[in-house]
Structure 1
Amino acid sequence: MPLAGPPLLFLLGLLVSTAILGTAFYLEHGIGLAPCALCLIQRACMAAFAVACLAAVVHRPKAFGRRIYGAVALAFSSFGAFSAGRQVWLQNLPREGSSDCLMPLERMLDEMTFPTMVKAIFDGSADCLQVNWSLYGMSVAEWSLLAFAGFMLLSAFQLLRRH
């Protein structure tokens, strides 16, 4: 039995990432969970991954184009996995060493240089350490890491796949 074709796999990535984004917005607006800065980075990576998959589905590229879309999707899913992994790691640190909450993102953009802002976000803060919601014993960050790992596999498969 042949494996699913490239457009179908990109469509699968698009549908799953869109569902995850919808869930993230439901958790924020429906349940009231405020996203931290690392969560916002993960959302941006998820949205960028979805756009790369959408472009691949619409464009229906040949082998070289499929590899380009696979590489772009792999880059976004890898950065998303890095940020989710960082948040999972921060959530498992002892609480006594945690820093204060970060200032709002809009204020950070106005008052900090970009490298300083990125360092502050990835250093973590108290709002990134909190686990306010879980499903089957896993936090949102852990689910996000799992999803990005799956997207990395899908993207690497598209990138390395032969005709």
Structure 2
Amino acid sequence: MNTRTYFLAGFVAASGALAFAYYLQYAVGLDPCPLCIFQRVAMAGFGLFCLIGLIHAPAGAGHRVYAGLATVCALTGAAIAARHVWLMHLPPDQVPACGPGLNYLIDVMPLTEVLSTVLRGDASCATVKGAFLGISLPAWTCVYFLLLSLGGLAGVFGLGARGVRSS
């Protein structure tokens, strides 16, 4: 697989996931919680680094750098999604109370406090709003991020991409 095909596949995978998330929000009516929004940001970051890699089409170290940055985004998204799944499985008496909305937090707090508050989660994040085959959407998202991470790592180590690994 050449560099452009590799990054095109990553960009299409991220774009498709984001399109599906927006479909669920606007067509189905599943409003995202703050952790869902952060997962979208991680997915957008993955897609952005793949798009830059697609446009730039570097060989060698450049390919590995873009693949590595995309992998960091995917692993960050997987960690956020895993946290989301963990919150969903807490006993009801251990779920954090609902807090203010993300827009309010962004308006009144520094970014580091917003991140800390959102990653703690609240009751809106602990509610299962959608599932497929009995598995929650955040769990599916975690699996998807892990698959994207494997693809990213393949690019970092030059597996299957021509011109990436010199012999």
- Identify the TM-score tier after normalising by the shorter chain: over 0.9
Offset at residue 114 of structure 1 (A)? 2.5
The partner residue of 2:9 within 12, 16, 23 is 12
Residue 68 of structure 1 aligns with which residue?
Answer: 65
Unaligned 5+ residue runs, structure 2?
Answer: 159-164
Residue 26 in structure 1 maps to residue 1 in structure 2? no
* RMSD of aligned residue pairs (Cα, Å): 1.2
Residue 125 in structure 1 maps to residue 94 in structure 2? no
Offset at residue 70 of structure 1 (A)? 0.9
Q: Structure 2: which amino acid aligns with 1:79? A: T
Q: How many residues align?
A: 160
Residue 38 of structure 2 aligns with which residue?
Answer: 41
Q: Structure 2: which amino acid aligns with 1:40? A: I
1:57-96 → structure 2 map (5 Å cutoff): 57-96=54-93
CA distance in 1, matches of 2:113, 2:49: 29
Deviations 1:16-63 (A, max 9, x none): 111110000010001111101110000011011111111111111111
Identity %: 31
Unaligned 5+ residue runs, structure 1?
Answer: none
Runs (4+) of structure 1 exceeding 4 A deviation are none
CA distance in 2, matches of 1:37, 1:66: 32
Residues 108-117 or 16-25, more deviating: 108-117
Residue 135 of structure 1 aligns with which residue?
Answer: 132
